[in-house]
Amino acid sequence: MAWLWQWHNAGLSWLPFLGMVIGAIVVLLIGLGVVTYEIYFERKVLGWMQGRIGPNRVGPLGLFQSFADILKLLIKEDVVPEKADRSLFLLAPVIAFIPSFMVLAVIPFSRTHVFTANLSIGALYYLALSAITIHGVMLGGWASNNKYALIGGMRSAAQMLSYEIPLGLSLVGVVLMAGSLNLNDIVSAQRTWWFVIPQILGFLVFLVAATAELNRTPFDLPEAESELVAGYHVEYTGFRFAFFMLTEYLYLFAMAGLAATLFLGGWLGPWLPGWLWFAIKVAAFIFFQFWLRATMPRLRVDQLMSFSWKVLLPVALLNLVITAVVKAWV
Amino acid sequence: MSQYFNEYLFVILFIALAVLLPLATIWIIGPMLRPSRPTRGKLETYESGVTPIGDSHVRYNARYYLFALLFVVFDVETLFLYPWAVSYHWLGKFGLVEALLFIIILAVGLGYAWRKKVLEWN
């Protein structure tokens, strides 16, 4: 069975290739499964925090609620508005989805990096791909030929552009400490202590910028339902809408994986197996995002932009300089 | 060499799967399951139930135009800092001074944009 995950150094033949294909399909299934239960737990957690029960009808404890929702979306009519730019409208959700799945290719799920690539530029690969999703969102908003969608798409682009810089700069501190962009090497470099301790400033910047990149509360302006109805996906129905949602929740999973890998020691931890430690850290990050949603009110759009440029960017640069100076003398 | 090749082959497999999934669900399985009964009202642009006025493909004041320019500057800065961070432990103090100069020049640029009120959204 070793060929299943020992394809990294194997020569080119069918057995290692089959291992790769199975690995990629397993990651796809893990991703879809995680997204299904992220949605369920988001609704449950929000319910508990607001003194409600949450979904409890479909299956025991409502565990099959998300499957029912997916099935319902699959049999819903696919409406393309008459005035929309048809080809772009049809393509936009796919353009948004492709990079969201591709970023999972480098997240090291466990000690032996089973199923995932060991790229030497892992962190850069993640950032480069996640930037492509902006195009899908903006094209979707523009092609709908709808005022809400246009404003939502524009806001989303401005927000993702602005917060990508603090996100990228907060990673430089981690890269400085580990001396590598390879995510597996970064995990190994955290054996003495997790980078969240020496990089606490970088972690805080990362946390805020990641929440904004994910378009989650308090930074959910692109889909501020009280002003923009639903933002860039107002006109989308059925499975095309489902792909926008899938993109959003896959990124939540991937970002949680990235946070766990870069700052929380990835699969490192005593007693329990590596993949379980990784799962616990990912679950903690995802729960934190749901908790924020239940607690925080939404920011105003002008506060949002100036916060990124006037607070996060200087703090990220400061963190970078401090890390470099300390590392030069220690 | 074979390792390098294998890792990127794996990434290419991910592209293939990411294209296949929407293709299979939206374009192949979807049309077999979902109805298609377009009516005039359904195909109209949604504007909170009111009859839509005008078109949205108009000249639009993209507020974030200047943000986009700033984004390019700082994104390139980040891009230069990555290789510097990876090779920092053998660049030593010389690398530190060089990077500090680089960051200071860009920080002055940020300060200039700040003073000129480019960072306001109004």
Q: Tell me which chain A residues have a C-beta less than 8 angstroms from the C-beta of B120.
A: 302, 306
Phi-psi region at B91: left, alpha or beta (left = phi > 0; alpha = psi -120 to 50): alpha
A21/B13 Cβ within 8 A: yes
Per-residue confidence (pLDDT) for residue A225, from 0 to 100:
67
Q: Tell me which chain A residues have a C-beta less than 8 angstroms from the C-beta of B15.
A: 98, 102
Note whether A321 and B100 are within 8 A (CB): yes
Q: Tell me which chain A residues have a C-beta less than 8 angstroms from the C-beta of B100.
A: 321, 324
Task: Give which of B45, B67, B103 to mutate to test A binding, by max A Cβ within 10 Å.
Answer: B45
Rounded mean pLDDT for each run of 10 residues along chain B, 122 residues in total: 75 90 86 83 77 74 74 87 88 86 89 82 66
Question: Any chain B CB within 8 A of the CB of A10?
Answer: yes
Q: Which residues contact B67 (CB under 8 A, 6 or more apart)?
A: A158, A161, A162, A305, A309
Smallest Cα distance from A134 to chain B, Å: 13
Question: Any chain A CB within 8 A of the CB of B119?
Answer: yes
With b for 16 or more beta-carbon neighbours within 10 A and e for fewer, the A80-102 pattern comes to bbebbbeeebbbbbbbbbbbbbb
- pLDDT tens, residue by residue, A207-216: 999 998 888 8
Question: Any chain A CB within 8 A of the CB of B91?
Answer: no
3-state secondary structure A232-252: HHCCCCHHHHHHHHHHHHHHH
Smallest Cα distance from A306 to chain B, Å: 6
Burial of B37: CB neighbours in 10 Å, binned 0-12, 13-18, 19+: exposed
- Between B8, B15, B35, which is nearest A77 by CB? B35
Task: Give which of A6, A22, A79 to mutate to test B binding, by max B Cβ within 10 Å.
Answer: A79
Question: Any chain B CB within 8 A of the CB of A327?
Answer: yes
Tell me how far apart the alpha carbons of residues B46 and B36 are, in angstroms, rounded to a whole number.
Answer: 19
Tell me how far apart the alpha carbons of residues A93 and A101 are, in angstroms, rounded to a whole number.
Answer: 13
Note whether A152 and A111 are within 8 A (CB): no
Residue type at B39 in one-letter notation: T
H runs (alpha helix) in B38-64: 40-43
Interface of A with B in 241-280 (CB under 8 A): 243
Q: Tell me which chain B residues have a C-beta less than 8 angstroms from the C-beta of A20.
A: 6, 9-10, 13
A321/B100 Cβ within 8 A: yes
CA A187, B82, A283: angle at the middle one, nearest 5? Answer: 35
Per-residue confidence (pLDDT) for residue A283, from 0 to 100:
93
- pLDDT tens, residue by residue, A85-121: 888 888 899 999 999 999 998 888 887 655 678 888 8
CA-based nearest residue in chain B for residue A156: B64
Question: Any chain A CB within 8 A of the CB of B64?
Answer: yes
Q: What is the pTM of this model?
A: 0.90
Extract the residue ranges of chain A whose pLDDT is less than 50: none
Question: Any chain A CB within 8 A of the CB of B90?
Answer: no
Query: CA gyration radius for chain B?
Result: 25
Question: Any chain A CB within 8 A of the CB of B11?
Answer: yes
Per-residue confidence (pLDDT) for residue A5, from 0 to 100:
66
- Between B67, B88, B121, which is nearest A327 by CB? B88
- Between A12, A80, A84, which is nearest B2 by CB? A12
**pLDDT > 70: percent of chain A:** 94
